[in-house]
Amino acid sequence: MADVDGNIEVSSDVESMPIPANMRPRICTLSVEDADIRYRVTGLDPVGGNAGGHLVAAGSWVTINGLHNIQNLRMIRDAAADAQVFYTLEK
């Protein structure tokens, strides 16, 4: 299977990475387009508003390495505005 890309709207509900059933990605690149988000790769849910998880500012990008971390990735918006997050999953 080739690399996969797409986008997710990250809101006040925790989002995880939609990994195709027949793919085992090793790298996930996220670009946060228009509002800050928080994320965790431990499988625990992040909390918006400085209460838990890594902050990614709008206009920034982050790379998640390793299948386990990608499978456990959880994201939530950090403030009142939803965020568009574009992603690429690479084998």
Using one digit for the tens of pLDDT, what is the confidence trace for 29-76? Answer: 999 999 999 999 999 999 887 778 999 999 999 999 999 999 999 999
Task: Indicate the DSSP class of residue 91.
Answer: -
pLDDT of residue 71: 97
pLDDT score of 6: 96
**pTM, 2 dp:** 0.92
% of the chain with per-residue pLDDT over 90: 90
Cβ burial of 90 (10 Å; 0-12, 13-18, 19+) is middle
Task: Give the residue numbers spanning the domain of 19.
Answer: 4-90
Residue 64: CATH number of its domain: 2.60.120.770
Angstrom distance (rounded) from CA 31 to CA 62: 7
Domain count, the chain: 1
CB-CB contact of 45 with 16 (8 Å)? no
pLDDT over 80 (residue 1)? no
CA distance 82 to 41: 20
